[in-house]
């Protein structure tokens, strides 16, 4: 049944900094509320805003966090463990780059880094439950992504082994989330092994169709792949539990296409844009999600290669609010209806 989407909400990760009002939860929550946002998605790795370990262990701390948000006129939509989820599975080619997502104590030690990441995810399950949240958002990590393009030819079984290992790593985490009553909405994202519908299905098979393995829908990553992001909703709507409202554009020319020629963000054929400045059909997306009964949050994830972030944040709240469809409880042609009974219906069809 159609449902009204909640929002607008804002993912705080791209805005948190050492400068006020972006350096504490009370200040950034008040800033977001003042822009018209009704919810905030919290990055759990940012200690300036949130203490994940304390949230997992202390109901009093979680109540305090919820109170801070309520005072600012917002509520928590989901906890994000994107960076920790990335570290559940890291190909050695990316070790040095992804070490920056973890504490210095586990740098240059992939096994310790992974163990830290898994523990973080486990804390995320308990923290979400203590906050009364039913969904969290994350990444899957990647073991196979460097082999995305099949040249040189991939050895037989490489991809199957990679997804098998990914499933073995995530299954205990998903079981912990199931015990806590919390879904994980994976952001389907290039750089992860799960970057489109086909790879999501492969991951789902690897975790035995786990009920807690779900989707954080972000159309920007699909537009840049030239994937039909509206048809994606029709196919996977039952697994879509979170929604990042993020814009992008794809402008191929005679020099570059989907892979964008190693160019920087401004010079790429495919690039992220502020809401309304790109090519994503948000009217179509909000209609599809509403039709399929999605009733959770619409969360702005702001990334743009051109626009100032404060301008993007200010424009994002009214943009999302404008696209949210308040579902009606009436049919538009009710005025033309009339009362009928079974005998009248049969008479209309000439049935004796």
What are the pLDDT tens digits along the chain (352 aa)? 899 999 999 999 999 999 999 999 999 999 999 999 999 999 999 999 999 999 999 999 999 999 999 999 999 999 999 999 999 999 999 999 999 999 999 999 999 999 999 999 999 999 999 999 999 999 999 999 999 999 999 999 999 999 999 999 999 999 999 999 999 999 999 999 999 999 999 999 999 999 999 999 999 999 999 999 999 999 999 999 999 999 999 999 999 999 999 999 999 999 999 999 999 999 999 999 999 999 999 999 999 999 999 999 999 999 999 999 999 877 666 666 777 788 988 989 999 7
Domain ranges of the chain: 6-348
- CATH number at 6-348: 3.20.20.150
pTM: 0.95
Residue 5 phi, psi (nearest 5): -75, 145
Burial class (CB in 10 A: 0-12, 13-18, 19+), 264: exposed
């Amino acid at each position: 049944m159609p449902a009204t989407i909640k929002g607008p909400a804002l993912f705080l990760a791209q805005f948190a900094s050492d400068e006020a009002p972006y350096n504490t939860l009370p200040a950034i929550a008040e800033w977001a509320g003042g822009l018209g946002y009704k919810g905030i998605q919290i990055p759990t790795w940012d200690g300036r805003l949130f203490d994940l370990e304390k949230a997992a262990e202390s109901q009093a701390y979680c109540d305090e966090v919820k109170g801070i948000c309520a005072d600012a006129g917002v509520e928590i939509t989901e906890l994000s463990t994107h960076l920790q989820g990335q570290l559940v599975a890291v190909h050695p080619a990316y070790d040095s780059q992804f070490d920056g997502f973890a504490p210095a104590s586990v740098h240059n030690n992939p096994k310790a880094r992974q163990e830290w990441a898994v523990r973080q995810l486990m804390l995320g399950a308990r923290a979400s439950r203590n906050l009364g949240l039913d969904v969290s958002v994350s990444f899957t990590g990647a073991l196979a992504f460097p082999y995305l393009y099949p040249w040189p030819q991939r050895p037989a079984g490489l991809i199957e082994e990679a997804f098998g290992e990914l499933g073995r790593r995530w299954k205990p985490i998903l079981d912990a989330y199931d015990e806590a009553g919390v879904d994980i909405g994976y952001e389907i994202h290039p750089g992860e092994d799960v970057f489109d519908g086909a790879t999501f299905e492969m991951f789902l098979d690897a975790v035995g169709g786990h009920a807690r393995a779900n989707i954080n829908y972000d159309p920007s990553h699909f537009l840049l792949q030239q994937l039909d992001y509206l048809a994606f909703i029709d196919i996977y709507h039952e697994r879509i539990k979170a929604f990042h409202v993020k814009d992008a554009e794809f402008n191929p020319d005679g020099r570059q296409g989907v892979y964008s020629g190693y160019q920087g963000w401004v010079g790429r054929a495919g690039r992220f844009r502020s809401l309304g400045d790109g090519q994503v059909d948000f009217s179509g997306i909000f209609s599809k999600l509403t039709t399929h009964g999605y009733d959770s949050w619409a969360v702005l994830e702001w990334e743009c290669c051109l626009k100032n972030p404060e301008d993007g944040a200010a424009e994002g709240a009214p943009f999302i609010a404008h696209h949210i469809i308040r579902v009606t409880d009436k049919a538009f042609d009710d005025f033309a209806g009339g009362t009928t009974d079974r005998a009248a219906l049969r008479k209309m069809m000439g049935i004796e």
